[in-house]
Structure 1
Amino acid sequence: MRFIDKLAVLGGAEPALLKLVPTALGQFVQFAFVLLGTALLAVVSMWFALVQGLKINSILALPFAALWGLLILNIDRFLTTSMLSSSSFRRNLQMAVPRFIMAALISTVVSTPLVLKVFESDVNAQMAYYNLQQSQNNKSPLEASAFQKNVDSLQAEVTRLQQVQAGNNGAVVNPIVEEDKKRITELTDLVNQQRPITDEAYRLYQCELNGKGRETLKDPSKCSPTAGPFGPFPQIDADFKKQTQVLSDLESQLQAAREKLQQDSSTATAQQAEALKSAQAAASQQLPVAEAQLASARDQLAQIQNQVNSGTLNDQGILAQLRALFTLGESNPLMGAAHWAVAGLFFMIELLPVLVKLLLNSGPPSLYEQVKKLDGDSLVDEAKVRRNADRRRIEEESKKRRDIEDDMRSREKRLGIKANVYVAGQMEKYLDAALQQWSRHVASTLQHAASSAAASNGATTVPYTPTQRGVPAVPSQAPGGAVPGGVPVVPSQAPGGAVPGGVPVVPSQAPGGAVPGGVPVVPSQAPGGAVPGGVPTASNGANRKPPNAFTNFDITSGSSN
């Protein structure tokens, strides 16, 4: 097969029909190139998705991309070749809609990696910005986490131990010193309050004594218009001395408190020096442990922070790229329009096989399609002919079997009748022979009886000649229908239908249908259908014997030897 013929077959042509309609070769070859184009686009799209999205090696991604392309090629070929041409627009639409939906889904999947590749630089920039922003946002939860609190606590402990080791034991509170400081503060406040009062009393004293400084007084009306040591002067003088004494006392107390504080501070300092030495010794031992715990806590926090930042900053998968692409479209209308334009282009390219097939089916059937329909009708007709021929053959076989079975049954019937006739004839011969012997025996008995009777009566004996089967020659002339001795000549008139000794003349009337010795006269009435010696009288008898079964019959005794 030529390469171009293989392309036509890929496009959906059948080689046998293509030989009948060679003009359709070009159309199917063109359609094959359309299918190959969409498959190649699918290969490129999958390769980009594997390399950029899943970070697979570019060489290792080629076989998977090729398999994806073959799958898309097969699906597109199936969707298009299964769309049969029809003159009904409704039927064409019914066939096209589900295929169009499937093709649209495939187109969306295939076109997405291509669109991401086209806008790769913009997408990467948007991803970097978004990931950095997310990394900054992730710090706040970590700062409030238990890990960060543990680090802060350990850091404060290490700082305290370092200060103690450096000689700074921190604010060590001595109660005595603190009480002294509190007392000094109180006295200082009292002194500061008393000094303005004492100063006001002094200015009033000078104004009252010398008449000077009236303007400096808070209340000038307290100073008399006439200066001198008279009037209210003595009272003012006494108040001045009193306020001066109060201020002096407060200052003395303040000075004493300061001296006490100095002494107490010296004592406390000596005590603190001893405590500082002990604290420094303890801090020297505790500081390495605290620093190790702090380093471990910081490493753990840094590891968590790196994991969060790494997951955020390195988030460059397919979903992250799609998020960045749509975020760009929302923030930049021009970018959004470009995105949808490129996506629509790839989408239409992937839909091209189904669209082309739909357009071809919307027109009148082509010559190839007409020949294909005729070829299909021919195959249907051939199948019907084969089915009818098979049905006739099956019916003939069935009729032949029925005829054979009917002929077999007919032959079996004829053979059965023939066998019955033959057996009946043979039994009749046996019966005749038996009856003849029996007749002769009866005749001899009767002859002997008649001779005996005649001899006793002095009469002459008439010879008696029986006929076949023992019937008398002239039965009607015998008195009472019987020979001398009361033997009936006509068996039917004999009592019980039997001769003397109970021997029946007419076998059918004999009890059991048998002659003396149990020999049956009518074989069908004999027990077991057999004559003496077990010779069967019917075709169904057993132990059948040859016709000479009665050759040894004893006439005098009526039995066979």
Structure 2
Amino acid sequence: MKDFFCWCAGVHADTLAKYPEEHNKYVSIGATIFFTGLFAALAGGYALYFVFSGSDFAFFYAMIFGLIWGLAIFNLDRYIVLSIDKSRSSGMQLLQALPRILLAILIGLVISRPLELKIFDKEIREHLRAEYLVQQNAKIDTLNKTFENKYLVEYGQLNALKSQADSMDSNIKTARQQLNHEIFGTKTDETSGVMGYGPYAKMKESELNKQQIYLDSLRTRIQAKESELLQRKTAEGLMDQRILSDKSLDSAINVAGFADRNAALSNLHKKPDGTINKSTEYAVIFIALLFIFFECLPVFVKLMSGRDAYDNALKNKKEINYYESDTEVRVEKSAIDKIDDYRIDASIKRRMDRLQEEFSDN
């Protein structure tokens, strides 16, 4: 494991072996790089799992993509840490690492989001439940309004019949009360005050019966009109729209995609009354900052570490390699210069042989 973490840190094993006091530092750097890649793999795989949610191979796709994503981040971290030259000044090292730090911020945001979705999974499910109910209610209201606008004339006729029936029902109740006053001899402006079932009472009752018959006919027409509109609603599929049950909501939440969950997480701090839940808002922000810092950690660790004996030995070895490379060029040039005379003689001989062949052929 120690050798593996040293390899993750990108060290030259033979050179580091000469300085055992530096082993722990580079083991720590390598472990940081490894776990950053591991977290990237987990986050990328979890995010893709929701992309392929519902597919039979969702887990397989998520595992493959997560592995590729984690290896890519691991390789990038390893290369950047390896490429930081500790022989340069602190400013030059920071300038060299600046592109990686900016990229780390972006990668940290990408990595933190899927893990935040898992951390706030219960809260997101409740938010989606409420959101889906609101959307379904809005959909039903929209369909009903569209239907009412489509059959505006029929609804106008129905409302007119209902208004007429309500007015008629109120008049019948008033007339029935007056008839009772007439029969029992209660004196009012519209009754005689004589007790008994007399001609006036009979006339009142006859008129009341006619009004009741007309009211019954109005109610029959109202029922027929409502039945007609109900049949049209059924034919156009409006009656199939129902408020989602708990089972339907659970099924919809289980297959909710990454976009829905991400939007729910973004709105998680907003309460139904429009106020802001500061604790939830800060929790989401600080978790994102934590992962951004964790992603930048390999570069920070390398920048914070001072120049040690291993760095100095590596610098000297590079200088030797550079000098050897330059010397090799000079040696090869000198060798070429030394054999110039031989190459000229050989070229002259080849040309003379070619000329002799031509003369002999002629």
Please indicate the TM-score interval, normalised by the length of the shorter structure: 0.5 to 0.7
AA at the equivalent of 1:64? F
* Residue 341 in structure 1 maps to residue 286 in structure 2: yes
Partners of 2:341 and 2:243 lie apart in 1 by: 92
Aligned to 1:40: 38
Aligned to 1:321: 261
Contact 1:47 1:62 in 2 (8 A): yes
* Residue 298 in structure 1 maps to residue 299 in structure 2: no
TM-score where L is the length of structure 2: 0.63
Shift of 1:408: 11
2:341 to 399, 404, 410: 399
- Equivalent runs, 1:147-546 vs 2, <5 Å: 294=232, 297-299=235-237, 301=238, 316-330=256-270, 331-360=276-305, 363=306, 365-402=307-344
- SS state of the match for residue 267, structure 2? helix
Partners of 1:403 and 1:34 lie apart in 2 by: 64
Structure 1 unpaired stretches of 5+: 160-289, 410-561
Partners of 2:151 and 2:43 lie apart in 1 by: 49
Aligned to 2:200: none
Partners of 1:101 and 1:4 lie apart in 2 by: 30
Partners of 2:259 and 2:140 lie apart in 1 by: 23
Shift of 1:52: 4.6
Aligned to 2:74: 73
1:28-48 CA-partner distances (Å, limit 9, x unpaired): 222221122112222322333
- SS state of the match for residue 84, structure 1? coil
Partners of 2:321 and 2:125 lie apart in 1 by: 60
Contact 2:77 2:298 in 1 (8 A): yes
Higher relative contact order (CA 8 A, sep 6+): 2
Shift of 1:105: 0.8
Shift of 1:109: 0.5
Partners of 1:366 and 1:110 lie apart in 2 by: 33
Count of residues in Structure 1 that have an aligned counterpart in Structure 2: 282
Partners of 1:407 and 1:298 lie apart in 2 by: 101
Which structure is higher in helix share? 2
Aligned to 2:8: 10
Partners of 1:124 and 1:384 lie apart in 2 by: 66
Partners of 1:295 and 1:109 lie apart in 2 by: 47
Contact 1:12 1:81 in 2 (8 A): yes
1:195-232 CA-partner distances (Å, limit 9, x unpaired): xxxxxxxxxxxxxxxxxxxxxxxxxxxxxxxxxxxxxx
Contact 1:46 1:110 in 2 (8 A): yes
Rate the CA distance shift 1:27–1:89 in 2: closer, same or farther, 3 A. closer
Greater radius of gyration (CA): 1
- SS state of the match for residue 329, structure 1? coil
- SS state of the match for residue 11, structure 2? coil
Contact 1:9 1:28 in 2 (8 A): no
TM-score where L is the length of structure 1: 0.43
Q: Say what the alpha-carbon RMSD is for the aligned residues.
A: 4.3
Contact 1:39 1:70 in 2 (8 A): yes
Shift of 1:79: 2.1
Aligned to 1:97: 98
1:532-560 CA-partner distances (Å, limit 9, x unpaired): xxxxxxxxxxxxxxxxxxxxxxxxxxxxx
AA at the equivalent of 1:323? A
- SS state of the match for residue 35, structure 1? helix
Partners of 2:89 and 2:30 lie apart in 1 by: 26
Structure 2 unpaired stretches of 5+: 159-227, 271-275, 352-362
Partners of 1:387 and 1:141 lie apart in 2 by: 81
